[in-house]
Structure 1
Amino acid sequence: MMPTGFNVTVNVDITKTYAAVKAKHWRFFPVYLQLITRLLSEQPEFMVGQTDDQLYHFDNLTPAYSIYHADNDTISGMWTAYSANIDTFYQNYLADRTTYQTQHGPVIKPDQPENAYMINMIPNLHFSSYTPLSFNGLPNFLPVIEAGQYQVTPAGTRLMPLSFTIHHAVADGHHVSRFFEKLQANLDKPENWLE
Protein backbone atom coordinates (compact mmCIF):
# COMPACT_ATOMS: atom_id res chain seq x y z
CA MET A 1 0.00 0.00 0.00
CA MET A 2 1.16 3.51 -0.69
CA PRO A 3 2.71 5.09 2.44
CA THR A 4 -0.12 7.56 2.93
CA GLY A 5 -1.99 8.97 5.87
CA PHE A 6 -4.85 11.34 6.33
CA ASN A 7 -5.89 14.10 8.67
CA VAL A 8 -9.28 15.41 9.75
CA THR A 9 -10.07 18.31 12.05
CA VAL A 10 -13.44 18.31 13.80
CA ASN A 11 -14.96 20.88 16.14
CA VAL A 12 -16.08 18.98 19.24
CA ASP A 13 -18.51 20.34 21.80
CA ILE A 14 -16.73 20.31 25.17
CA THR A 15 -19.35 22.42 27.00
CA LYS A 16 -20.61 19.84 29.49
CA THR A 17 -17.27 18.18 30.17
CA TYR A 18 -15.52 21.53 30.60
CA ALA A 19 -18.13 22.60 33.16
CA ALA A 20 -17.87 19.27 35.00
CA VAL A 21 -14.06 19.50 35.12
CA LYS A 22 -14.19 23.05 36.49
CA ALA A 23 -16.79 22.00 39.08
CA LYS A 24 -14.24 19.46 40.37
CA HIS A 25 -11.57 22.22 40.42
CA TRP A 26 -9.50 20.14 38.00
CA ARG A 27 -7.43 21.07 34.97
CA PHE A 28 -8.99 20.30 31.59
CA PHE A 29 -5.77 19.14 29.88
CA PRO A 30 -5.17 15.90 31.86
CA VAL A 31 -8.86 14.98 31.59
CA TYR A 32 -8.55 15.48 27.81
CA LEU A 33 -5.44 13.26 27.77
CA GLN A 34 -7.13 10.45 29.68
CA LEU A 35 -10.39 10.53 27.74
CA ILE A 36 -8.72 10.51 24.31
CA THR A 37 -6.32 7.73 25.37
CA ARG A 38 -9.16 5.60 26.76
CA LEU A 39 -11.20 5.94 23.57
CA LEU A 40 -8.22 5.24 21.30
CA SER A 41 -7.44 2.14 23.37
CA GLU A 42 -10.93 0.80 22.61
CA GLN A 43 -10.17 0.61 18.88
CA PRO A 44 -7.42 -1.87 17.89
CA GLU A 45 -6.72 -0.10 14.58
CA PHE A 46 -5.31 2.81 16.58
CA MET A 47 -2.89 0.63 18.58
CA VAL A 48 -0.66 -0.88 15.90
CA GLY A 49 3.06 -1.09 16.53
CA GLN A 50 5.87 -2.41 14.36
CA THR A 51 9.15 -4.15 15.06
CA ASP A 52 11.20 -4.77 11.93
CA ASP A 53 8.57 -6.05 9.49
CA GLN A 54 6.22 -7.48 12.12
CA LEU A 55 3.03 -5.63 13.06
CA TYR A 56 1.29 -6.17 16.40
CA HIS A 57 -1.29 -4.56 18.70
CA PHE A 58 -0.60 -2.80 21.98
CA ASP A 59 -3.00 -3.48 24.87
CA ASN A 60 -3.37 0.25 25.46
CA LEU A 61 -1.62 3.52 24.69
CA THR A 62 0.39 6.04 26.69
CA PRO A 63 -0.09 9.76 26.06
CA ALA A 64 3.11 11.61 25.14
CA TYR A 65 2.66 15.36 25.26
CA SER A 66 4.53 18.64 25.73
CA ILE A 67 5.03 20.71 28.85
CA TYR A 68 5.44 24.47 28.46
CA HIS A 69 8.19 26.34 30.32
CA ALA A 70 7.14 29.95 30.91
CA ASP A 71 10.61 30.93 32.18
CA ASN A 72 12.24 30.53 28.76
CA ASP A 73 9.28 30.06 26.39
CA THR A 74 10.18 26.47 25.43
CA ILE A 75 8.49 23.08 25.53
CA SER A 76 9.72 19.64 26.56
CA GLY A 77 8.44 16.17 25.76
CA MET A 78 6.65 14.33 28.56
CA TRP A 79 4.52 11.24 29.06
CA THR A 80 2.27 10.00 31.84
CA ALA A 81 1.45 6.38 32.65
CA TYR A 82 -2.08 5.61 31.49
CA SER A 83 -4.78 4.37 33.83
CA ALA A 84 -8.38 3.62 32.86
CA ASN A 85 -9.32 5.15 36.21
CA ILE A 86 -9.64 8.91 35.70
CA ASP A 87 -8.70 9.76 39.31
CA THR A 88 -5.55 7.62 39.15
CA PHE A 89 -4.49 9.10 35.84
CA TYR A 90 -5.15 12.64 37.05
CA GLN A 91 -2.93 12.06 40.10
CA ASN A 92 -0.22 10.49 37.88
CA TYR A 93 -0.31 13.59 35.68
CA LEU A 94 -0.04 15.96 38.64
CA ALA A 95 2.88 13.97 40.06
CA ASP A 96 4.70 14.07 36.70
CA ARG A 97 4.06 17.78 36.35
CA THR A 98 5.42 18.45 39.84
CA THR A 99 8.51 16.32 39.20
CA TYR A 100 9.42 17.54 35.72
CA GLN A 101 7.98 21.06 35.29
CA THR A 102 11.26 22.82 36.13
CA GLN A 103 13.44 20.52 34.01
CA HIS A 104 14.36 21.57 30.48
CA GLY A 105 15.35 19.62 27.39
CA PRO A 106 13.81 17.93 24.37
CA VAL A 107 12.44 15.01 26.44
CA ILE A 108 12.47 15.43 30.22
CA LYS A 109 10.87 12.21 31.47
CA PRO A 110 13.07 9.21 30.63
CA ASP A 111 12.08 5.72 29.45
CA GLN A 112 9.12 6.65 27.30
CA PRO A 113 7.29 3.40 26.55
CA GLU A 114 6.98 1.99 23.05
CA ASN A 115 3.20 2.41 23.10
CA ALA A 116 3.40 6.21 23.49
CA TYR A 117 1.48 8.24 20.93
CA MET A 118 1.62 12.00 20.31
CA ILE A 119 -1.18 14.10 21.77
CA ASN A 120 -1.09 17.80 22.47
CA MET A 121 -3.01 21.02 22.72
CA ILE A 122 -2.32 24.52 21.44
CA PRO A 123 -4.40 26.47 23.99
CA ASN A 124 -3.79 29.90 22.44
CA LEU A 125 -4.67 29.11 18.81
CA HIS A 126 -8.06 28.21 17.38
CA PHE A 127 -7.44 26.47 14.05
CA SER A 128 -9.55 24.99 11.29
CA SER A 129 -6.87 22.51 10.25
CA TYR A 130 -3.68 21.11 11.74
CA THR A 131 -1.54 18.52 9.94
CA PRO A 132 1.68 17.17 11.49
CA LEU A 133 4.33 16.21 8.96
CA SER A 134 6.94 13.47 9.33
CA PHE A 135 10.37 14.28 8.01
CA ASN A 136 12.22 11.06 8.87
CA GLY A 137 10.37 8.72 6.52
CA LEU A 138 9.82 6.13 9.24
CA PRO A 139 6.37 4.54 9.40
CA ASN A 140 4.22 5.48 12.35
CA PHE A 141 0.93 3.68 12.75
CA LEU A 142 -0.15 5.37 15.98
CA PRO A 143 -2.46 8.40 15.77
CA VAL A 144 -1.34 11.98 16.30
CA ILE A 145 -3.90 14.14 18.11
CA GLU A 146 -3.83 17.93 18.50
CA ALA A 147 -6.48 20.14 20.09
CA GLY A 148 -6.74 23.87 19.65
CA GLN A 149 -8.17 26.76 21.59
CA TYR A 150 -11.91 26.47 22.17
CA GLN A 151 -14.28 29.21 21.11
CA VAL A 152 -17.53 30.11 22.82
CA THR A 153 -20.53 30.56 20.52
CA PRO A 154 -23.21 33.21 21.16
CA ALA A 155 -25.35 30.39 22.61
CA GLY A 156 -22.60 29.58 25.16
CA THR A 157 -21.37 26.37 23.52
CA ARG A 158 -17.64 25.68 23.79
CA LEU A 159 -16.29 24.28 20.51
CA MET A 160 -12.74 22.91 20.41
CA PRO A 161 -10.98 21.93 17.18
CA LEU A 162 -9.47 18.45 17.35
CA SER A 163 -7.06 17.24 14.69
CA PHE A 164 -6.68 13.48 14.10
CA THR A 165 -3.87 12.15 11.90
CA ILE A 166 -3.45 8.43 11.15
CA HIS A 167 -1.64 6.13 8.72
CA HIS A 168 -4.05 4.93 6.04
CA ALA A 169 -2.66 1.38 6.22
CA VAL A 170 -4.29 0.85 9.62
CA ALA A 171 -7.41 3.02 9.59
CA ASP A 172 -10.04 4.36 7.25
CA GLY A 173 -12.49 7.21 7.56
CA HIS A 174 -15.14 5.05 9.22
CA HIS A 175 -12.70 4.15 12.04
CA VAL A 176 -12.01 7.82 12.71
CA SER A 177 -15.72 8.66 12.41
CA ARG A 178 -16.50 6.03 15.05
CA PHE A 179 -13.87 7.57 17.33
CA PHE A 180 -15.39 11.05 17.00
CA GLU A 181 -18.90 9.70 17.61
CA LYS A 182 -17.74 8.02 20.84
CA LEU A 183 -15.78 11.12 21.83
CA GLN A 184 -18.77 13.43 21.45
CA ALA A 185 -21.02 10.98 23.30
CA ASN A 186 -18.56 10.97 26.23
CA LEU A 187 -18.15 14.75 26.16
CA ASP A 188 -21.94 15.12 26.33
CA LYS A 189 -22.25 12.79 29.35
CA PRO A 190 -19.30 13.47 31.69
CA GLU A 191 -21.35 12.16 34.61
CA ASN A 192 -20.89 8.65 33.18
CA TRP A 193 -17.08 8.65 33.39
CA LEU A 194 -15.76 11.72 35.22
CA GLU A 195 -17.37 11.09 38.61
Structure 2
Amino acid sequence: MNNTGLLNKIDVTTWKRREHFEHFSALDDPSWGLVIDVNCTVAAHAARSRKSSFFLLCLHAALKATNATPELGYRLVDDEVCCYGPLHASATIMRADETFGCCFIEYIADFKEFAANAREQIELVKARSGMCLENDLRHDQVFFSSLPWLKFSALTFARNLKDGGIPKFIFGKASEQGNEKLMPVALQVHHGLADGLHVARFFERFQTALDNC
Protein backbone atom coordinates (compact mmCIF):
# COMPACT_ATOMS: atom_id res chain seq x y z
CA MET A 1 0.00 0.00 0.00
CA ASN A 2 1.39 3.40 -1.00
CA ASN A 3 0.61 5.76 1.89
CA THR A 4 1.81 8.93 0.14
CA GLY A 5 -0.91 11.53 0.65
CA LEU A 6 -3.04 9.33 2.92
CA LEU A 7 -5.28 11.57 5.04
CA ASN A 8 -7.51 9.09 6.85
CA LYS A 9 -9.60 5.97 6.45
CA ILE A 10 -13.38 5.68 6.42
CA ASP A 11 -15.02 3.27 8.86
CA VAL A 12 -17.26 1.50 6.36
CA THR A 13 -19.34 -0.09 9.14
CA THR A 14 -20.71 3.34 10.12
CA TRP A 15 -20.47 5.03 6.72
CA LYS A 16 -23.77 6.40 5.40
CA ARG A 17 -22.84 5.01 1.97
CA ARG A 18 -22.01 1.54 3.26
CA GLU A 19 -24.81 -0.21 1.36
CA HIS A 20 -24.06 1.70 -1.84
CA PHE A 21 -20.35 0.97 -1.52
CA GLU A 22 -20.88 -2.75 -0.93
CA HIS A 23 -23.42 -3.03 -3.74
CA PHE A 24 -21.32 -1.41 -6.44
CA SER A 25 -18.04 -2.92 -5.26
CA ALA A 26 -19.52 -6.40 -5.76
CA LEU A 27 -20.15 -5.77 -9.47
CA ASP A 28 -17.84 -7.12 -12.17
CA ASP A 29 -17.11 -3.53 -13.18
CA PRO A 30 -18.12 -0.90 -10.60
CA SER A 31 -17.03 2.05 -12.74
CA TRP A 32 -19.25 4.56 -14.46
CA GLY A 33 -18.55 7.62 -16.52
CA LEU A 34 -19.90 10.39 -18.69
CA VAL A 35 -18.88 13.14 -21.10
CA ILE A 36 -19.64 16.79 -20.40
CA ASP A 37 -18.93 19.80 -22.60
CA VAL A 38 -17.20 22.47 -20.54
CA ASN A 39 -16.98 26.10 -21.58
CA CYS A 40 -13.30 26.90 -22.01
CA THR A 41 -13.71 30.32 -23.68
CA VAL A 42 -11.99 32.19 -20.85
CA ALA A 43 -9.20 29.61 -20.60
CA ALA A 44 -8.53 29.78 -24.34
CA HIS A 45 -8.36 33.58 -24.20
CA ALA A 46 -6.08 33.44 -21.16
CA ALA A 47 -3.76 31.00 -22.92
CA ARG A 48 -3.44 33.32 -25.92
CA SER A 49 -3.03 36.54 -23.95
CA ARG A 50 -0.49 35.07 -21.51
CA LYS A 51 1.23 32.91 -24.14
CA SER A 52 0.60 30.02 -21.80
CA SER A 53 -0.37 26.40 -22.39
CA PHE A 54 -4.10 25.84 -22.86
CA PHE A 55 -3.66 22.24 -21.72
CA LEU A 56 -1.91 23.27 -18.50
CA LEU A 57 -4.57 25.90 -17.76
CA CYS A 58 -7.28 23.26 -18.12
CA LEU A 59 -5.28 20.69 -16.16
CA HIS A 60 -4.72 23.13 -13.30
CA ALA A 61 -8.42 24.03 -13.22
CA ALA A 62 -9.36 20.34 -13.18
CA LEU A 63 -6.95 19.60 -10.35
CA LYS A 64 -8.26 22.55 -8.37
CA ALA A 65 -11.81 21.19 -8.72
CA THR A 66 -10.68 17.64 -8.00
CA ASN A 67 -9.01 18.69 -4.77
CA ALA A 68 -12.20 20.52 -3.75
CA THR A 69 -14.25 17.32 -4.25
CA PRO A 70 -13.34 14.87 -1.44
CA GLU A 71 -15.00 11.86 -3.07
CA LEU A 72 -12.53 12.00 -5.97
CA GLY A 73 -9.79 11.32 -3.43
CA TYR A 74 -11.38 8.13 -2.09
CA ARG A 75 -9.51 4.92 -2.93
CA LEU A 76 -10.22 1.27 -2.25
CA VAL A 77 -6.97 -0.12 -0.85
CA ASP A 78 -6.70 -3.60 0.68
CA ASP A 79 -10.50 -3.65 1.16
CA GLU A 80 -10.41 -0.33 3.04
CA VAL A 81 -11.75 3.03 1.87
CA CYS A 82 -8.88 5.50 2.18
CA CYS A 83 -8.97 9.26 1.67
CA TYR A 84 -6.05 10.87 -0.16
CA GLY A 85 -4.97 14.44 -0.75
CA PRO A 86 -3.71 16.68 -2.07
CA LEU A 87 -4.30 15.05 -5.44
CA HIS A 88 -1.85 15.39 -8.30
CA ALA A 89 -1.94 14.51 -12.00
CA SER A 90 -0.57 11.63 -14.00
CA ALA A 91 -0.88 12.97 -17.55
CA THR A 92 -0.05 11.32 -20.85
CA ILE A 93 2.51 13.32 -22.83
CA MET A 94 3.04 12.87 -26.57
CA ARG A 95 6.56 12.63 -27.96
CA ALA A 96 7.92 13.50 -31.39
CA ASP A 97 8.02 9.79 -32.30
CA GLU A 98 4.26 9.53 -31.57
CA THR A 99 4.69 7.43 -28.44
CA PHE A 100 3.60 8.76 -25.07
CA GLY A 101 4.81 8.64 -21.51
CA CYS A 102 3.03 9.21 -18.20
CA CYS A 103 4.09 12.41 -16.47
CA PHE A 104 3.54 12.96 -12.74
CA ILE A 105 2.64 16.63 -12.26
CA GLU A 106 2.33 18.00 -8.74
CA TYR A 107 -0.67 20.18 -7.97
CA ILE A 108 0.47 23.63 -6.85
CA ALA A 109 -2.23 26.22 -6.15
CA ASP A 110 -0.30 29.05 -7.81
CA PHE A 111 -0.60 28.55 -11.57
CA LYS A 112 2.77 30.08 -12.48
CA GLU A 113 4.60 27.73 -10.10
CA PHE A 114 2.46 24.81 -11.25
CA ALA A 115 3.14 25.50 -14.94
CA ALA A 116 6.89 25.96 -14.43
CA ASN A 117 7.17 22.63 -12.64
CA ALA A 118 4.86 20.92 -15.15
CA ARG A 119 6.93 22.10 -18.13
CA GLU A 120 10.07 20.75 -16.48
CA GLN A 121 8.49 17.35 -15.81
CA ILE A 122 7.02 17.19 -19.32
CA GLU A 123 10.43 17.79 -20.92
CA LEU A 124 11.90 14.99 -18.82
CA VAL A 125 9.24 12.57 -20.09
CA LYS A 126 9.72 13.72 -23.68
CA ALA A 127 13.44 13.01 -23.39
CA ARG A 128 12.82 9.43 -22.29
CA SER A 129 11.33 6.38 -23.95
CA GLY A 130 8.70 3.97 -22.73
CA MET A 131 5.62 4.65 -20.63
CA CYS A 132 7.34 6.02 -17.49
CA LEU A 133 5.15 4.11 -15.04
CA GLU A 134 7.25 4.54 -11.89
CA ASN A 135 4.48 6.56 -10.19
CA ASP A 136 1.65 4.33 -11.41
CA LEU A 137 0.92 2.87 -7.96
CA ARG A 138 0.43 6.21 -6.21
CA HIS A 139 -3.09 6.70 -4.88
CA ASP A 140 -2.73 10.48 -4.49
CA GLN A 141 -3.03 11.04 -8.22
CA VAL A 142 -5.70 11.30 -10.90
CA PHE A 143 -5.19 10.09 -14.46
CA PHE A 144 -5.43 12.57 -17.33
CA SER A 145 -5.16 12.14 -21.06
CA SER A 146 -6.14 14.25 -24.04
CA LEU A 147 -7.48 13.74 -27.55
CA PRO A 148 -7.04 17.21 -29.06
CA TRP A 149 -7.79 15.83 -32.53
CA LEU A 150 -11.30 14.55 -31.75
CA LYS A 151 -14.59 15.98 -30.55
CA PHE A 152 -16.46 13.14 -28.85
CA SER A 153 -19.75 12.68 -27.02
CA ALA A 154 -19.08 9.23 -25.55
CA LEU A 155 -15.95 7.34 -24.61
CA THR A 156 -14.82 4.14 -22.89
CA PHE A 157 -11.65 3.78 -20.84
CA ALA A 158 -9.10 1.02 -20.51
CA ARG A 159 -9.81 -0.10 -16.95
CA ASN A 160 -7.63 -1.62 -14.25
CA LEU A 161 -10.02 -2.97 -11.63
CA LYS A 162 -7.14 -3.12 -9.13
CA ASP A 163 -6.22 0.57 -9.26
CA GLY A 164 -8.32 1.46 -6.23
CA GLY A 165 -10.82 3.52 -8.18
CA ILE A 166 -8.51 6.32 -9.36
CA PRO A 167 -10.60 8.79 -11.42
CA LYS A 168 -9.73 9.07 -15.11
CA PHE A 169 -10.15 12.15 -17.28
CA ILE A 170 -9.81 12.73 -21.01
CA PHE A 171 -9.91 16.18 -22.59
CA GLY A 172 -11.21 16.29 -26.17
CA LYS A 173 -10.93 18.78 -29.01
CA ALA A 174 -12.04 22.31 -28.15
CA SER A 175 -14.28 23.76 -30.85
CA GLU A 176 -16.09 27.01 -31.54
CA GLN A 177 -19.86 27.16 -31.02
CA GLY A 178 -21.07 30.66 -31.69
CA ASN A 179 -18.99 32.99 -29.55
CA GLU A 180 -17.95 30.23 -27.17
CA LYS A 181 -15.32 27.52 -27.16
CA LEU A 182 -16.48 24.17 -25.78
CA MET A 183 -14.42 21.11 -24.93
CA PRO A 184 -15.70 17.58 -24.20
CA VAL A 185 -14.36 16.13 -20.97
CA ALA A 186 -14.80 12.46 -20.11
CA LEU A 187 -14.64 11.30 -16.50
CA GLN A 188 -14.75 7.78 -15.09
CA VAL A 189 -15.09 6.99 -11.38
CA HIS A 190 -15.73 4.01 -9.10
CA HIS A 191 -19.46 4.02 -8.30
CA GLY A 192 -18.83 2.64 -4.83
CA LEU A 193 -16.81 5.76 -4.06
CA ALA A 194 -18.52 8.54 -6.02
CA ASP A 195 -22.09 9.10 -7.20
CA GLY A 196 -23.63 11.44 -9.74
CA LEU A 197 -24.03 14.23 -7.18
CA HIS A 198 -20.31 14.22 -6.45
CA VAL A 199 -19.42 14.24 -10.15
CA ALA A 200 -21.87 17.09 -10.75
CA ARG A 201 -20.23 19.09 -7.96
CA PHE A 202 -16.84 18.46 -9.54
CA PHE A 203 -17.99 19.78 -12.92
CA GLU A 204 -19.52 22.87 -11.30
CA ARG A 205 -16.20 23.58 -9.59
CA PHE A 206 -14.26 22.82 -12.77
CA GLN A 207 -16.37 25.28 -14.75
CA THR A 208 -15.89 27.94 -12.07
CA ALA A 209 -12.13 27.40 -12.16
CA LEU A 210 -12.09 27.62 -15.97
CA ASP A 211 -14.09 30.85 -15.82
CA ASN A 212 -11.54 32.36 -13.44
CA CYS A 213 -8.25 31.38 -15.06
Helix, strand or coil at the partner of 1:177: helix
Distance in 1, Cα, partners of 2:31 & 2:77? 20
CA RMSD between the two structures: 1.7
Moved more, 163-172 or 94-103: 94-103
Name the TM-score, length of structure 1 as normaliser: 0.88
TM-superposed deviation, 1:119:
0.8
Between the aligned residues of both structures, percent identity stands at 24
Among candidates 154, 164, 172, match of residue 195 of structure 2: 172
1:98 is matched with 123
Unaligned runs of 5+ in 2: 1-22
2:76 is matched with 50
1:77 is matched with 102
1:193 is matched with none
Helix, strand or coil at the partner of 2:94: strand
TM-superposed deviation, 1:139:
5.0
TM-superposed deviation, 1:26:
0.4
Deviations 1:82-136 (A, max 9, x none): 212211110111111232312110116x4454312211111111111112131x4
Instruction: Count the aligned residue pairs.
Output: 186
Q: 1:90 to 1:145 in 2, by over 3 A?
A: same
1:118 is matched with 143
Distance in 2, Cα, partners of 1:107 & 1:13? 32
Matched, 1:25 2:51: yes
- Match of 2:212, as an amino acid? K
Matched, 1:132 2:136: no
Deviations 1:62-99 (A, max 9, x none): 100111112x2211111112212211110111111232
Name the TM-score, length of structure 2 as normaliser: 0.81
2:9 is matched with none
Among candidates 60, 63, 74, match of residue 37 of structure 1: 63
